[in-house]
Amino acid sequence: MWRCYPSALDPAARPAALRQTASSEVLMPVCASCKEEVDDVVVVKVKGKNKKVCEDCADELREQQEIAEASEEAVRDMMGYKGRW
C-alpha cells in the first residue's frame, strides 16, 4: 500500500507546488503607472528614474517624454535668447 502514497508524501512535491503558486503571485508585476497587474512590464526611464510599466503605459510615457523633451528644448531656446542681455 506504500506505493499509493509516494508522490503525496514526497516532501519535494507539495512545497514545490506551493512555492510555485506563491512565487507567481509575488512575481506578478504591477504597472507603476496604471497599477494594473500585467504579464510583462517594460522598463522606461522617466526623468532619470526607471519605471516598470505595462507596454501600453510605456508607449504613452515615451510619447509624453518626447513631447516634454521637445518642449523643454524649445523653452531652453527661448530662455537662451531672452536670457542673453
**Binder of Zn ion out of 41, 42, 44, 57 (CB under 5 A):** 57
Q: 25: alpha, beta or left, given left = phi > 0 and alpha = psi -120 to 50?
A: alpha
- Are the C-beta atoms of 48 and 20 separated by less than 8 Å? no
Q: In whole angstroms, how close is the CB of 50 to Zn ion at the nearest point?
A: 15
Contact between 58 and Zn ion by CB under 5 A: the answer reads no
Main-chain phi, psi angles of 38, to 5 degrees: -130, 160
Choice from 33, 41, 42, 44 touching Zn ion (CB under 5 A): 33
41 binds Zn ion (CB under 5 A): no
What grid cell was written down for 70? 521637445
Please report, as ranges, the residues that interact with Zn ion according to CB under 5 A: 31, 33-34, 53-54, 57
